[in-house]
């Protein structure tokens, strides 16, 4: 059989199909797992075939957000994995067939030349691309790229809600998605997850916390199935804990934190990330987004999710089990580790990230997050309980507020205030915000409270009560929340 037929065969391999239900089937927990790898089948005679040890399996990859922090580290990891294949240490080789960026045309061009990429996409329609690859430009360019290339894997690393249409397209086409863009599930998990299950698309987490939890859950299925998101976790799991470094303001006096400068907020003590994610880490909105994403990846409700401050950033997730034991995933704070696992799963290969040196670990500290210092975590729990379009509002308002802070339009302490005001004033889902368990979540950081009636009178706000049921409605609600946030600056 010709090697060129292998990508087509691999698309129907049980390892490709795990994590989502077959089209037209009713989802069950068992359907969202897979057993041990089955042999490939020759399509002509359905006879089992084995691959020779020397055979290289090629995977075609599109990287959305290739010029950002996760995107550049993904390309670095792909170069490392291909070098392993050249040295005979791996049977996987990755071909980058498409790259997408927002505005950084020069770096996109450089990447396309380095990896001989045949297709590129640039969201900015006004920038000329001097590149031999076929190019798409404009707002819909990333989605066009995914539909044109039909790769084996899409790395979704575009910042914010901009990557949502392209990620939905990948799910619709049954393409595996290495998910770094948490905003996709926060804003539209109710659309992405059912679509991924129907089409057989797996959501392989790149966020270190979700990757860590995914690794903790392996081996908990009684029949040894592989557990692949989106999935239902085994009932033995009682709580999933995501860790957080605490950011640069973990011990800063709250009054000082409210007036922190952009430079102070960007000085993360352990992780190297883009500006938006770094500010989200400082407010802990980042952890709130991760809680909501975990709800969709693993079908966990708010009562089965937890957060612990862990300043060393060595333990990334903890699975608490009903038998009294816990399983934790530990590694150095290097995003190339979860990126590589998402690319090579279920295989594990020598990594390009530093190995954890147990001899240098003198302490691992854990504390509960202070709700006064980090009210965003409480808001995220309420978003999970509320459902509907609350996640869309949470994410959109935060993106506007973070950009306003980076532009030095608002002080640091206003970011979470604006997010809560949007959630309080835009009724989505079935439960009014002030009737949730425990009542409306009050802002801390010493801010004055504003009632919904007062805020609506000031902004002339018109509520949008219905839950968004299509991509267009999600984008409309997203625009509505952004408009409200801008009016609140």
Answer yes or no: pTM beyond 0.85: no
Digits of tens for pLDDT over the chain (489 positions)? 333 333 333 333 333 333 333 333 333 333 334 333 333 333 333 333 344 556 889 999 999 999 999 999 999 999 999 999 999 999 999 999 999 999 899 999 999 999 999 999 999 888 888 888 899 999 999 999 999 999 999 999 998 778 899 999 999 999 999 999 888 999 999 999 999 999 999 999 999 999 999 999 998 887 777 899 999 999 999 999 999 999 899 999 999 999 999 999 998 877 777 789 899 999 999 999 999 999 999 999 999 999 999 999 999 999 999 999 999 999 999 999 999 999 999 999 999 999 999 999 999 999 999 999 999 999 999 999 998 899 999 999 999 999 999 999 999 999 999 999 999 999 775 444 444 333 333 333 333 333 445 554 554 444 444 578 899 999 999 999 999 999 999
Which residues are 61's β-sheet partners? 96, 153
Provide the CB-side half-sphere exposure for 215 (13 A, CA): 23
Q: Give phi and psi for 204, each to the nearest 5.
A: -90, 110
Q: How far apart are CA 336 and CA 77, in angstroms?
A: 6
Q: Which helix (H) or strand (E) holds 85?
A: helix 69-86
Q: Is 321 helix (H, G, I), strand (E, B) or coil?
A: strand
Question: DSSP assignment of 400-424, as one string?
Answer: HHHHHHHTTSS-TTHHHHHHHHHHH
Q: How far apart are CA 142 and CA 4, in angstroms?
A: 26
Question: Is the previous residue joined to 346 through a cis bond, with omega within 30 degrees of 0?
Answer: yes
Total residue length of the chain: 489
Question: DSSP assignment of 153-203, as one string?
Answer: EEEE--SGGGGHHHHHHHHHTT-EEEE--HHHHHHHHHHHHHHHHHHT--E
Answer whether 69's CB lies under 8 Å from 281's CB: no
């Amino acid at each position: 059989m010709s090697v060129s037929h292998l990508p087509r065969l691999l698309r129907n391999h049980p390892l490709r199909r795990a994590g989502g239900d077959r089209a037209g089937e009713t989802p069950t927990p068992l359907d969202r797992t897979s057993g041990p790898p089955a042999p490939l089948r020759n399509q002509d005679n359905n006879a089992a075939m084995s691959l020779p040890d020397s055979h290289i399996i090629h995977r075609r990859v599109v990287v959305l957000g290739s010029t950002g922090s996760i995107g550049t580290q993904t390309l670095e990891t792909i170069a490392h994995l291909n070098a392993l294949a050249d040295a005979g240490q791996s049977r996987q080789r990755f071909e980058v067939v498409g790259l997408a960026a927002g505005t950084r045309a020069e770096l996109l061009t450089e990447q396309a030349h380095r990896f001989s990429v045949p297709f590129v996409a640039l969201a900015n329609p006004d920038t000329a691309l001097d590149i031999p690859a076929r190019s798409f430009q404009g707002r819909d360019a990333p989605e066009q790229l995914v539909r044109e290339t039909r790769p084996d894997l899409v790395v979704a690393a575009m910042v914010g809600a901009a990557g949502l249409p392209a990620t939905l397209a990948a799910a619709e086409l049954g393409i595996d998605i290495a998910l770094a863009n948490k905003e996709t599930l926060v804003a539209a998990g109710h659309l992405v997850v059912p679509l991924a299950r129907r089409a057989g698309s797996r959501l392989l987490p790149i966020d270190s916390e979700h990757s860590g939890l995914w690794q903790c859950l392996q081996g908990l299925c009684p029949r040894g199935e592989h557990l692949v998101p989106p999935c239902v976790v085994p009932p033995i799991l009682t709580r999933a804990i995501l860790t957080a470094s605490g950011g640069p303001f973990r011990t800063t006096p709250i009054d000082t934190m409210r007036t922190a400068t952009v430079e102070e907020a960007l000085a993360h003590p352990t992780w190297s990330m883009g500006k938006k994610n770094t500010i989200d880490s400082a407010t802990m909105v980042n952890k709130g987004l991760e809680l909501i994403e975990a709800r969709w990846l693993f079908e966990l409700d708010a009562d089965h999710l937890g957060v612990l401050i862990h300043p060393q950033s060595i333990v990334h997730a903890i699975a608490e089990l009903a038998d009294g034991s816990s399983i934790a995933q530990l590694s150095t704070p290097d995003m190339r580790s979860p990126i590589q696992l998402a690319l090579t799963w279920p295989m594990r290969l020598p990594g390009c990230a530093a190995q954890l040196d147990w001899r240098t670990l003198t302490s691992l500290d854990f504390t509960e997050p202070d709700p006064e210092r980090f009210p965003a975590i409480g808001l995220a729990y309420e978003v999970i309980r509320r459902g509907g379009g609350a996640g869309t509002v949470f994410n959109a308002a935060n993106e506007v507020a973070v950009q306003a802070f980076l532009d030095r339009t608002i002080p640091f302490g206003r970011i979470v205030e604006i997010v809560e005001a949007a959630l309080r004033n835009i009724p989505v889902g079935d439960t009014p915000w002030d009737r949730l368990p425990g009542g409306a979540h009050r802002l801390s950081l010493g801010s004055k409270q504003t009632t919904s009636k007062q805020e609506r009178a000031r902004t002339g706000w018109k509520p949008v009560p219905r839950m968004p049921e299509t991509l267009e409605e999600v984008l409309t609600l997203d625009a509505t929340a952004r408009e409200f946030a801008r009016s609140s600056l």
